Copies of this chain bind each other. A is one copy, B any other.
Amino acid sequence: MAPRTRRTERRAEALSRERIVEAAVELLDSAGERGLTFRTLTERLATGPGAIYWHVANKGELLDAATDAVLAAALTPTPGRADAADAADAPRAEIHAVALGLFDTIDAHPWLAGRIAAQLSLSPWRSVAPRVLEALGRQVAALGVPEAHWFTATSALMHYILGAAGLNAANARTAAPETDRGAVLDATSRAWKELDAGAYPFTRAVADQMRTHDDRAEFLAGLDLVLAGIAARYPPAER
């Protein structure tokens, strides 16, 4: 056998945990959670499974590392991004910015939703929970919420944001690439209108509002409801 063209399929740099995680994120983004296997990963990295297991304990740890890598970028504060008109509105603007950052990140990496849920509870001391809590909680404090209600108010915000963003991401998660959002909304709206009039009067009534809704705008409207509730129930302490 001839001495082969010099490593056309051979990787240029040494393997490292970072390179493995990077390739994992790419596979997850392009093919979803089912697209990341040790076969596709070893093929892309031009190596064998044993090499990956040298740097990573198992698939779960790899998914956790991928989650951390993507979320770290999303949660890195970008000072001044809010540029609120007046300072009084700064906390609300900052909460919007954090929420939209998470919403858009989860929308762009839909596989994140399931992983965040797993991490939040499996290891609540790890980076995700404290980072999100800290970013939101400081603004909750700035809004004047009495300290006794800090945890409750911030938890509710965090649950709404991560929950709603996660449910929304399921859209992108499994929808075929050529699936037209408008067509899905049309079909769903039509199906709702054909529900039994006696059993589903409300759903029939909102079928048109559903058809024309904007995911991002609805997400923000819901966020503002939570914020309005916080303002109403936990008004700033007198002084």
Number of copies: 2
Q: Does A48 contact B (CB under 8 A)?
A: no
Q: Please state if A170 and B120 are interface contacts (CB–CB under 8 Å).
A: yes
Q: Please state if B229 and A159 are interface contacts (CB–CB under 8 Å).
A: no
Contact flags (1/0) for A202-239 with B, using CB distance below 8 Å? 11011001100100001001101111111111000000
Stretch among A20-28, A64-72, A111-119 lining the B interface: A111-119
Q: Min CB distance, A68 to chain B, in Å?
A: 16
- CB-defined contacts of A154 to chain B, threshold 8 Å: 202, 206
Q: Please state if A167 and B120 are interface contacts (CB–CB under 8 Å).
A: yes
Stretch among A10-18, A85-93, A191-199 lining the B interface: A191-199
Q: Please state if B233 and A174 are interface contacts (CB–CB under 8 Å).
A: no
Q: With A125-B188, A224-B233 given, is the CB distance from A203 to B133 under 8 Å?
A: yes
Q: Please state if B137 and A202 are interface contacts (CB–CB under 8 Å).
A: yes
Majority SS of interface residues in chain A? helix
Stretch among A38-46, A49-57, A145-153 lining the B interface: A145-153
Q: Please state if B225 and A188 are interface contacts (CB–CB under 8 Å).
A: no
- CB-defined contacts of A166 to chain B, threshold 8 Å: 117, 163, 166-167
Q: Which residues of A does B touch, CB under 8 Å?
A: 113-114, 117-118, 120-122, 124-125, 130, 133-134, 137-138, 141, 147, 150-156, 159-160, 162-164, 166-168, 170-171, 173-175, 184, 187-188, 191-192, 195, 199-203, 205-206, 209-210, 213, 218, 221-222, 224-233
CB pairs A–B below 8 angstroms (19 shown)? A114-B114, A118-B170, A122-B175, A133-B203, A134-B201, A137-B205, A138-B202, A141-B202, A152-B218, A159-B164, A159-B167, A159-B222, A163-B163, A163-B167, A224-B233, A225-B226, A228-B229, A228-B232, A228-B233
